[in-house]
Amino acid sequence: QKEVEQNSGPLSVPEGAIASLNCTYSDRGSQSFFWYRQYSGKSPELIMSIYSNGDKEDGRFTAQLNKASQYVSLLIRDSQPSDSATYLCAVNQAGTALIFGKGTTLSVSS
Amino acid sequence: SAVISQKPSRDICQRGTSLTIQCQVDSQVTMMFWYRQQPGQSLTLIATANQGSEATYESGFVIDKFPISRPNLTFSTLTVSNLSPEDSSIYLCSVERQGSPTEAFFGQGTRLTVV
């Protein structure tokens, strides 16, 4: 059974702080790793993808991947109240559907 | 990213009836996926729909309950049959961008309430 694990939260951070979201996965054959943001009542929105070990930065977002530890994380710098949402970690192999974690709820207080 | 139009966006249905959800993509895609998101839960894959072949269903999902059509490379439908309150969920279609590596994008979702 392929699994993706996330802490459900809620993770609460003050505005301007760094939010750190973590995810582990069970399938060592996973090749692609994604972070989706989902606002309440909306569909998931892709915010980051990462495919090789190391860090990938895009604006305030940094994704980190460690395949040896089967671990992927998302850092959000200078957190804003508009970042308050559920963040879903997803993994897959090429040509297969995504496997999602249960999501971490982030709350950024102003 | 692909533009995915999914409809209806929401519906309220009587138990025992069926709802058909449509998903239209603005470009040809090989694989389309249907997910269910129950209240407060993450996304669960229902089935993978390839054009020209029967859909492949995940464990716990059967064709009689969730028939899927994929008549061409830009369109798919999911029907949720014999509705019960337990089917109240958000249903999402998803496509992968052509090429490698793959990235998946979602339609707006269909919020189904069964009364």
The whole-angstrom distance between A42's CA and the closest CA on chain B is 7
Model confidence at A87, pLDDT cuts 50, 70, 90, reads very high
Query: How far is it, in rounded angstroms, from Cα B86 to Cα B83?
Result: 8
Instruction: Give the Cα-Cα-Cα angle B20, B26, B31 (nearest 5 degrees).
Output: 65
> What is residue B101's predicted lDDT score, i.e. its pLDDT?
61
Closest approach of B43 to chain A, Cα-based (Å): 6
Chain A interface, Cβ < 8 Å to B: 31-32, 34, 41-46, 49, 51, 88, 90, 92, 94-95, 97-103
Q: Which residues of A touch B107 (CB under 8 A)?
A: 43
Smallest Cα distance from A2 to chain B, Å: 12
**pLDDT for res A9:** 84
A40 φ/ψ sector (left φ>0, alpha ψ -120 to 50, else beta): beta
In tens, the pLDDT along A6-27 reads 988 899 999 999 999 999 999 9
pLDDT by residue (tens digit) across B9-64?
999 999 999 999 999 999 888 889 999 999 888 899 999 998 888 899 999 999 99
Tens-digit pLDDT profile for residues B70-104: 999 999 999 999 999 999 999 999 987 766 566 78
Partners of B43 on chain A (C-beta within 8 Å) are 44, 88, 98, 100
Nearest CA in chain A to B107: A43
- In the chain, the amino acid numbered B5 is S
In which band, very low, low, confident or very high, does the pLDDT at A92 lie, cut at 50, 70 and 90?
confident
For residue B99, what pLDDT is reported?
60
pLDDT at A80 over 90: yes
The answer on pLDDT for A104 being more than 70 is yes
